[in-house]
Amino acid sequence: MAALIKVRVKDFNGALLQQQLKAGSIPPGGLLWAGFHRQEDNIYEPFVEVETIGRRTNPDGGDDILDIAEPGELRFRFEPDLTPAQETLLNSILTNHDSTQFSEGQRNQATDLTAKDLLISRYQNWDSLNPQEKDVVLKNLTRLVARLIDRSTNI
């Protein structure tokens, strides 16, 4: 299992990238965001310049061994190694990735937060709701409970 290094100087949405790799049947593997800083909401932004990301003491007593990363450096480890077709697909996914888009999980979470606020508001005014509004509240509540039990539920 050799390290596969790709350099893309652009922002990445980590959750969306994982979803895209899975959808593309890229085998599960390790991903080190070597040349990136993690920002809020799972967004990875490339370093501005080469940075030291690790340092080990040299067992021979010489200078420390430095691990440096180029801006935008992604390090993958796949078991087994990717086929040429899979590597071509990986390159396409990395090139076409749009960090401003959300993964399915991120969209569900945003929907959950909106639904939660609506449920609280509707609960406080339950007696004034008509039957159709109560039906919508019950459907949202069912969805939230199902997602609370299993985050992968998408109803």
Q: Is the pLDDT of residue 63 over 90?
A: no
Q: Is 90 within a domain?
A: yes
Q: Any idea which residue has 């990301």 for tokens?
A: 53
Q: How many domains does the chain have?
A: 2
Name 73's bridge partners: 7
From 96, 122, 137, give the residue that closes a domain: 96
Per the structure, the complete domain to which residue 14 belongs is given by 3-96
Q: Is 9 within a domain?
A: yes
Q: Check whether residue 16 and residue 72 sit in a common domain.
A: yes
Per residue in 69-89, pLDDT tens? 999 999 999 988 899 999 999
Q: Is 154 within a domain?
A: no
Buried/exposed 26-43: b ≥16 CB within 10 Å, e otherwise: beeeebbbbbbeeeeebb
Q: Is 40 within a domain?
A: yes
Per residue in 113-153, pLDDT tens? 888 888 888 888 899 999 998 998 888 888 888 888 887 77
> What's CA 101's distance to the chain center, in Å?
11
The whole-model pTM stands at: 0.75
